[in-house]
Structure 1
Amino acid sequence: MPAKTAPKKPTARKRTTARRKKLAPRKPIARTPKGGSPIDRLGAWMAIRIATHAQDHMATTMSRKDAAILRITHENCQTCHGNGQIFTKGKDGSFTGSKPCPAKPAVQKVSRLRVAMAARFGADRATGLIGWTCPCGSKEKPRYRDAKEATKALRTHERKRHGAKSVGGTWYAQTTEAAALQPSMPTPATP
Structure 2
Amino acid sequence: MPAKTTPKKPTSRKRTATRRKKLAPRKPVTRTPKGGSPVDRLGAWMAIRLAHHAKDHIAATVSRKDAAILRITHEGCPTCHGNGQIFTKGKGGSFSGSKPCPAKPKTQKVSRIRVAMAARFGADRSTGLIGWTCPCGTKEKPRYRDAKLATKALRAHETKKHGGQTVGGAWYAQVTEAAALQPSKPQPAAVPAGMGSTP
Q: Shorter-chain TM-score: what band?
A: 0.7 to 0.9
Q: Is residue 2:141 matched to residue 1:141?
A: yes
Q: Which residue of 1 aligns with 2:128?
A: 128
Q: CA deviation at 1:184?
A: 1.9
Q: Is the 8 A contact 1:89 1:184 kept in 2?
A: no
Query: Identical aligned pairs, as a percentage?
Result: 83
Q: Which residue of 2 aligns with 1:104?
A: 104
Q: Is residue 2:85 matched to residue 1:116?
A: no
Distance 1:81 1:176 in 2: 7
Q: Is residue 2:174 matched to residue 1:174?
A: yes
Distance 1:72 1:186 in 2: 29
Q: Does the residue aligned with 2:124 lie in a helix, a strand or coil?
A: helix
Q: Does the residue aligned with 1:42 lie in a helix, a strand or coil?
A: helix
Distance 2:45 2:113 in 1: 37
TM-score, normalising length: structure 1: 0.79
Q: Which residue of 1 aligns with 2:150?
A: 150
> Please, which runs of 5 or more residues in structure 2 have no aligned partner?
1-33, 189-199
Q: CA deviation at 1:187?
A: 7.2
Q: Which has the larger radius of gyration?
A: 2
Which aligned runs of 4 or more in structure 1 are off by greater than 6 angstroms?
none
Q: Which residue of 2 aligns with 1:6?
A: none
Distance 2:76 2:64 in 1: 20
Distance 1:43 1:157 in 2: 26
Q: Which amino acid aligns with 2:53?
A: H
Q: CA deviation at 1:91?
A: 1.6
> Please, which runs of 5 or more residues in structure 1 have no aligned partner?
1-33
Distance 1:48 1:187 in 2: 49
Distance 1:57 1:185 in 2: 36
